Structure 1
Amino acid sequence: MDFTPTEAATDLQKLTADIVDRISPAERVAELESDRAPIDQRLWSELAGAGLLGLAAPESADGADLTTLETVAVATELGRGLARVPFGPHALAGVPLLAAHASDDLRSALLAAAVAGEKVLTAAVEEDGNFDAAAPRTVLDDAGLTGVKVNVPFAAAADVLLVVAAGSAGPVLAAVPADRPGVTITESVATGLTPVYLVEFDGVDVAPTEILDGGAATVAQALDLLRLAVSADQAGTVAAALDATAEYAREREQFNRPIGSFQAVAQRLADGYIDVQALSLTVTQAAWLLSGLAETEDGETTAAVETAKFWAAEAGHRVAHTTVHVHGGVGLDTSHPVHRYFLRAKQNEFTLGSAPVVLDELGDLLTVKA
């Protein structure tokens, strides 16, 4: 497995950094958070104009597609900037799922508009007290779609919700317009200040053409992509937090010495560096396998994604706390950028499964393989 970034991924990461620095610097993000904006529309339009929302739309003829690696590179850079856009559920998960599994009618209606940023996609997966995507409590039957989803990102800005539900033959993934009768969207308070919502479905009509093909396999692929998206965002978040903390430790002096020269601080920063590298490498590994660039055994790709999500939780927890502790009183200032990195890292830690949840799933997967 080659962990060297592709030339395209490196170029796209630089392009994304330039766009974020120009369109959505820290002051802009703070303003959007204060206003509880459902999305950073200016940044979203710029990403669409640069072609970054459709990186995963093409289908490779030989089954090996580098676009997952490239899309992950963009998602990581957006995490660095705490971008207030649904890039992960839209571009890393939604677009490739539509390209591969949507009916001709659905693909014609949505895919081009999603690539252009004219239609916003998000995913409604999690349920309160029940995270088993293979056995959702939300039901799709003759009476329509009924159930409740929690922690749905950017739902108020979304045009289409990709909903995991229990169908007659097992779990399915359906593309449901957010404004369809029977859909109720209520804002929730989230740790990381990223807009998330509770979404209720009450007998919502879903056409057969709005159900993606593949059943349980498509649901599993969706969960892998969504977890990879969260992990990529976390990789950028903790990397930026550690960079800011290292810079502060070099500049802040006590007893006429930079605090970074004290052993206890240096050890915390060194541990943080290991965490950031571990998360980055496991995200790259998962993206590589999802790209189809290596032959895999049953469950190997999902195991790689769950490993990345575990590190997203562990690294997020440790680096976030190191950031606050080393910054001292500054780190406790809720208006300071480093505290917002702390909040985003904590939200990513628990989104789509905390460390114990994914370790339990990973253990079951490895047990079955053994």
Structure 2
Amino acid sequence: MITTDASEEIRQLRDALRGTLGTAHQELPSAPAADWREGWRALAELGVTGFCVPEEKGGIGLRADAAVAVATELGAALHGSPYAGLAASARVLALADDPVADQVLSGVLSGERVCGFGRLSGDGRVARLVDGVAHSDALVLLEQDGDGATLLLDPLDWSADARHHGFDVSRTCADVTVVPGQGRRLVVPAVAVAVDLYELLLAADTVGSAHRMLERTVTYAGQRRSFGRPIGGFQAVQHRLVDHSVRVRGMTLVVTEAARLLSAGSSRARRWVAVAGSSTGAGAPHILHDLLQLSGAIGFTWEYGLHFHQRRVHQNARLAANPRGALRALADLEGWTDAR
């Protein structure tokens, strides 16, 4: 998989994740697992839920590089967990300095609870595109403006509508309507870091999917024969695969740099997160579409599984700012919109 970060502890983390997820080899399941929560505690024992939680709250600080490694491997495995939202909500709960939030956080860190993450609309009642609602027993919903968030502690506190969000079959996603009068308001300093973390981990998830299917397509091109030779021996196929390798490598480097800056608390982190969101959200769907073409007829089958990754990268772009939104954010940060 991806080896941009040479850190020994990150390599060990990836190896442990691949062993737990069963992705040490290229064989992929024909469909995403029906219930990802069955093995979630085993992953939580590896510390994946605490990589962005301060040490005094039971985590290990802000290690965005480790969280990115986890998101990448989960994306490659088509894992159904809403990991980006879990990590972001854990960050919010840890910074809220609230006893109830601390109790929920304890359950999230142990893997016993799943806390979804979303952003409320202006009226404070609806949150669009909340990932993992079907498996969540708590939600953290950020207010549209300011440093506040609403903590919902029971699925009875909200209603979910998933009718228009079934494109990605590897995860669940829904629009959430908060029951009037329910929820606990939290005041969260530096809440923008949680949003940056959320968008960055979605980009890392996309990189995992793109890299996984690129590896598989390269292997296929070396095995599939046409006119008496592997199709990977034809220059047109070689050039397309090399181009895709360069693009995926570029996405990987951008995500890695964004994680480094976010962990360091750099003021430049928001810019790099926006670049990561734009590059993965716009580039990965096109790459996977062409990999589908290069895989021939087998790539179009349900059993081959490439379409699951296609659906996932499209959904990641929707859950984050989407490519256009990421570009707008970058333009605002750089002052390019002042020219108007």
Compute the TM-score of the two structures, normalised by the length of structure 1. Answer: 0.81
- The answer to whether 1:17 aligns with 2:13 is no
In the TM superposition, what is the alpha-carbon distance from 1:265 to its structure 2 partner? 1.3
2:29 aligns with 27
Q: CA RMSD in A?
A: 2.5
- The answer to whether 1:213 aligns with 2:198 is no
The answer (yes or no) to whether the contact 1:123–1:153 under 8 Å persists in 2 is yes
- The answer to whether 1:94 aligns with 2:66 is no
In the TM superposition, what is the alpha-carbon distance from 1:29 to its structure 2 partner? 4.4
CA distance in 2, matches of 1:227, 1:280: 14
The answer (yes or no) to whether the contact 2:257–2:272 under 8 Å persists in 1 is yes
Paired residue type of 1:332: F
- The answer to whether 1:187 aligns with 2:162 is yes
The answer (yes or no) to whether the contact 1:175–1:212 under 8 Å persists in 2 is no
Closer, same or farther in 2 for the Cα pair 1:30/1:179, shift >3 Å?
A: closer
**Which residues in structure 2 correspond to 1:30-49 (within 5 Å)?**
30=32, 32=34, 39-49=35-45
| Match for residue 150 of structure 1 among 109, 128, 136 | 128
CA distance in 1, matches of 2:249, 2:155: 42
1:119 aligns with 113
| Match for residue 77 of structure 1 among 67, 73, 80 | 73
| Match for residue 52 of structure 1 among 24, 44, 48 | 48
CA distance in 1, matches of 2:293, 2:264: 41
**Which residues in structure 2 correspond to 1:158-173 (within 5 Å)?**
158-166=136-144, 170=146, 172-173=148-149
In the TM superposition, what is the alpha-carbon distance from 1:166 to its structure 2 partner? 4.4
| Match for residue 256 of structure 1 among 204, 219, 228 | 228
In the TM superposition, what is the alpha-carbon distance from 1:50 to its structure 2 partner? 2.9
CA distance in 1, matches of 2:123, 2:36: 30
- Per-residue displacement from partner, 1:309-356 (whole Å, max 9, x unpaired)? 111113312221121110121121123222222222222233212222
| Match for residue 177 of structure 2 among 187, 195, 200 | 200
Paired residue type of 1:161: L
Q: 5+ unaligned residues in a row in structure 2: which ranges? A: none
Compute the TM-score of the two structures, normalised by the length of structure 2. Answer: 0.88
Closer, same or farther in 2 for the Cα pair 1:119/1:301, shift >3 Å?
A: same
**Which residues in structure 2 correspond to 1:241-252 (within 5 Å)?**
241-252=213-224
2:281 aligns with 313
The answer (yes or no) to whether the contact 1:138–1:164 under 8 Å persists in 2 is no
- The answer to whether 1:108 aligns with 2:102 is yes
The answer (yes or no) to whether the contact 2:5–2:256 under 8 Å persists in 1 is no
The answer (yes or no) to whether the contact 2:98–2:186 under 8 Å persists in 1 is no
Identical pairs, percent: 26
Paired residue type of 1:343: R
The answer (yes or no) to whether the contact 1:79–1:236 under 8 Å persists in 2 is yes
1:324 aligns with 292
